[in-house]
Structure 1
Amino acid sequence: MMSKIKHIVWPQVILFGDSITQFSFQTNGWGAEITDKLARKCDVVNRGLSGYNTRWAKIVLPRLITSAISSHIAAVTVFFGANDCALEDKNPQQHIPLKEYSENLMEIAQYLASVGVPKEKVIFITPPPLHEADWKKQCVLKGCSLNRTNAGAGQYAQACVKSAGQCGAEVLDLWTLMQKDGQDFSVYLSDGLHLSEKGNQFVAQHLWRHLESRVNHLPFILPYWGDLDPKSPESSLLSDCPQGDPSATGGQH
């Protein structure tokens, strides 16, 4: 009997990025919030790689996303730039020239398309603004001088927006949104570069607006417990279409 049971394939949203993505599953993180919103509908997969730039990301991507899984992918976020924009003279290991950064982003989108993830499923995210005074404190603690600037991050954010347009992908421009109307963007950052709790909430809120249209059609996987026949649960739980009523998610106890 067990050999005849049909495996359930869960759709996936893949978060591909640097440390801001890797840390997104921490308590109150933006990735954790997106995951909670998609419970029983979609797996959210964290492929954040702390310290990585687009050069390294481009190389490793074929090891993470292949044509074997592409048909199950609902969306992919591509969130790089905070390391690429490091100053060449202060942090040459992570720095990527602006032109190459743009090219790398487009190559990432082209690769995704080549394995079956179309541009409509790709969401670029720009680096957030950098609060130089706070980040300088972190640099001093590590024995180095300020190795990024907000103006530099802005150049890479603009390049990300432009690359998204050329690729036909959507883009979430955090650098611009977090500084809109001259607001104090430092509240969105924990150390001048990485996100604070408020910053995580900001990203989750704005990213959901881009994700929602890509996932709102996904069914609630496996029936609501109240719809099961206690005398014959197998009839629902082992059916070929193990879907439930999304409106029942509020009563899962």
Structure 2
Amino acid sequence: MVGPARPQFVLFGSSIVQLGFFQEGWAADLSHYYARKADVFMRGYSGWNSRQAREVVEQVFPMDDPVKPSLVIVYFGGNDSVLYDPDVPSSHVPLDEYVQNMRIIATHLQSLSETTRLIFLTAPPVNEEQMKEVLG
């Protein structure tokens, strides 16, 4: 006998999400804690920034999908916040663009369903002066 569908939790982010299932990471803990209560899905993309996430959010979370997630946990920002160097390709995204990208992602996710809940994780603070000293 098949019971009602379990809630879906979707983890959407960069390597913090992708690697969260390895070696007893935070996503593995979440999945273990909600075993038999919810299905936990990983949509983690190592190296990605908020710009790349904004470009695919509608494909990852299509409006016409009949099953809507109950919870979406979003983490982007670590790659966005790398120090900008005009001579080196990087995943850096300027702060104002990052904020706009996250608003677009949030708006899309909120429009999926009135019952979909969102949690946004943020990148930890960075001491830029200390980073400049370390990097020379």
Per the normalisation by structure 1, the TM-score is: 0.46
Aligned counterparts of 1:26 and 1:117: Cα–Cα separation in 2: 32
Look up the match of 1:94.
91
Q: What residue number does 2:108 align with?
A: 111
1:112, distance to aligned residue in structure 2 (A)? 1.1
Cα shift readout 1:2-58 (whole Å, capped 9, x = no counterpart): xxx767522111000000110000021000000000000101101110000000001
Q: How does 1:139-158 map to 2 (within 5 A)?
A: 150-152=126-128
1:65 aligns with 2:61: yes
Structure with bigger helix share is 1
CA distance in 2, matches of 1:58, 1:107: 7
Runs of 4+ that moved beyond 6 A: none
Shift of 1:71: 4.9
**TM-score for the superposition, normalised by structure 2:** 0.82
How far has the Cα of 1:117 moved from its partner?
Answer: 5.7
Shift, 1:91, TM fit: 4.7
The CA distance in 2 between the partners of 1:117 and 1:21, in whole Å, is 25
**1:124–1:94: structure 2 CA closer, same or farther, 3 Å change rule?**
same
Secondary structure of 1:103's match?
Answer: helix
Unmatched segments (≥5 aa) in structure 1: 130-149, 153-253
Structure number, greater radius of gyration: 1
State how many pairs are aligned: 127
Partner of 1:40: 36
Query: What residue identity is the alignment partner of 2:112?
Result: V
User: Which of 8, 25, 44 is the equivalent residue of 1:12?
Assistant: 8
Q: Deviations over 1:232-251 (max 9, x none)?
A: xxxxxxxxxxxxxxxxxxxx
Contact 2:68 2:113 in 1 (8 A): no
Give SS of 1:13's match.
Answer: strand
1:133-192 C-alpha deviation (Å, 9 max, x unpaired):
xxxxxxxxxxxxxxxxx235xxxxxxxxxxxxxxxxxxxxxxxxxxxxxxxxxxxxxxxx
Unaligned runs of 5+ in 2: 129-136
Equivalent residues in 2 for 1:63-212, closer than 5 Å = 63-69=59-65, 71-89=67-85, 91-116=88-113, 121-129=117-125, 150-152=126-128
Mapping 1:218-237, distance limit 5 Å: none
Greater RCO structure (CA 8 Å; 6+ sep): 2
Q: Paired residue for 1:25, among 5, 21, 24? A: 21
Give the Cα separation in 2 of the matches to 1:78 and 1:123: 6
Matched, 1:55 2:54: no
Measure, in 2, the Cα distance between the counterparts of 1:94 and 1:43.
Answer: 31
Q: Which amino acid aligns with 1:86?
A: V
Deviation of 1:64 (Å): 1.1
For residues 151 and 93 of structure 1, the distance between their equivalents in structure 2, rounded to whole angstroms, comes to 19
Mapped partners of 1:69, 1:10: distance in 2: 16
